[in-house]
């Protein structure tokens, strides 16, 4: 948004307008009084202001969400580590020929685990073995994990000082598919070395993971809750 002050001097008043560049609208700011004895008022310089609506239309990138092991599954009741990048982003734009820089800073992360459990935190988390931001699934099935990041913004006009943008925006990341697997213990007869080696090889293999269908979707946790970390 660009705020322009076109002044009209009539005795002790000035007149201003406000132009929204995105919506192509002009708002009449009315007349303002000038105190007696004040310096002569000329046409005020144009002032550029970036609103939260302008901020929301900029291409702020969604952080990449990471959940669970990279293999795409984890055992039921095992810790599911959640983390993302928390980098501040800088973007450049141009308003009526004036360069404007925008700084978007992630300040809060909301995780939806897909089973009814949610987590809100200011901590972006770290990869395993960290468990700073983590959860677990109580039931077997496929789940979508969704991250929504809240950004606050600042803007700088033509290399000037940084100014805060009033309000914040939310950006949703691509969801992560994860399968929670119930692992059952099995008894083996280790009577021969050959059998022992065979069992060890089988244990190293990945367990069978079913295709995602309506029948393999994970259920909602009846004890689901929201946590703030």
183-229 pLDDT tens trace: 864 444 444 444 444 444 444 567 889 999 999 999 999 999 999 99
Kindly state whether residue 79 falls inside one of the protein's structural domains.
yes
Instruction: Answer yes or no: do 180 and 128 share one domain.
Output: yes
H helix intervals, the chain: 52-56, 193-204
Instruction: Answer yes or no: do 115 and 222 share one domain.
Output: yes
Cis link prior to 129 (omega < 30° from 0)?
Answer: yes
Lowest-pLDDT choice from 105-109, 155-159, 196-200:
196-200
Contact between 180 and 209 under an 8 Å Cβ cutoff? The reply is: no
Instruction: Answer yes or no: do 215 and 191 share one domain.
Output: yes
Parallel/antiparallel/unpaired status of strands 226-228 and 118-121 = parallel
Kindly state whether residue 29 falls inside one of the protein's structural domains.
yes
Instruction: Answer yes or no: do 28 and 63 share one domain.
Output: no
CA pair distance 152, 111, nearest whole angstrom: 18
Kindly state whether residue 162 falls inside one of the protein's structural domains.
no
Q: What is the pLDDT at residue 104?
A: 98
The residue among 3, 9, 86 whose CA lies nearest residue 40 is 9
Kindly state whether residue 205 falls inside one of the protein's structural domains.
no
43-99 pLDDT tens trace: 445 688 899 999 999 999 999 999 988 889 999 999 999 999 989 999 998 887 889
Instruction: Answer yes or no: do 74 and 43 share one domain.
Output: no
pLDDT at residue 31 tops 80: no
Q: What is the pLDDT at residue 1?
A: 53
Instruction: Answer yes or no: do 66 and 45 share one domain.
Output: no
Kindly state whether residue 127 falls inside one of the protein's structural domains.
yes
Write the CATH number for 218: 2.60.40.10
Kindly state whether residue 30 falls inside one of the protein's structural domains.
yes
Instruction: Answer yes or no: do 194 and 114 share one domain.
Output: yes
Instruction: Answer yes or no: do 183 and 141 share one domain.
Output: yes
Total domain count, the chain: 2
Instruction: Answer yes or no: do 70 and 183 share one domain.
Output: yes
> What pTM does this model have?
0.73
Instruction: Answer yes or no: do 147 and 129 share one domain.
Output: yes
The share of the chain scoring above pLDDT 90, in percent, equals 60
**Domain of 27?**
2-49
Q: What is the pLDDT at residue 17?
A: 52
Kindly state whether residue 54 falls inside one of the protein's structural domains.
no
Kindly state whether residue 206 falls inside one of the protein's structural domains.
no
Instruction: Answer yes or no: do 18 and 116 share one domain.
Output: no
């Amino acid at each position: 948004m660009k705020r322009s002050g076109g002044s009209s001097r009539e005795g002790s008043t000035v007149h201003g307008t406000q132009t929204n560049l995105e919506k192509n609208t002009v708002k009449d700011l009315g007349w303002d009084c000038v105190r007696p004895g004040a310096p002569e008022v000329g046409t005020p310089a144009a002032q550029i202001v970036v609103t939260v609506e302008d901020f929301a239309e900029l291409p702020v990138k969604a952080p990449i969400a990471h959940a669970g092991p990279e293999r795409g599954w984890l055992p039921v009741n095992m810790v599911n580590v959640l983390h993302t990048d928390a980098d501040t982003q800088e973007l450049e734009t141009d308003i009526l020929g004036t360069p404007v820089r925008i700084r978007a800073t992630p300040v809060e992360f909301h995780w939806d685990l897909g089973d009814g459990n949610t987590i809100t935190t200011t901590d972006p988390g770290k990869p395993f073995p960290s468990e700073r931001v983590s959860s677990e699934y109580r039931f077997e099935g496929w789940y979508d994990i969704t991250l929504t990041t809240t950004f606050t913004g600042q803007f700088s006009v033509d290399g000037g000082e940084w100014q805060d943008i009033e309000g914040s925006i939310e950006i949703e990341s691509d969801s992560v598919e994860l399968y929670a697997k119930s692992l059952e213990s099995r008894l083996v007869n280790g009577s021969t070395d050959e059998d022992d080696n065979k069992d060890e090889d089988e244990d190293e293999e990945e367990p069978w993971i079913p295709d995602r269908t309506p029948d393999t979707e994970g259920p909602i946790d009846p004890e689901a809750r929201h946590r703030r970390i």
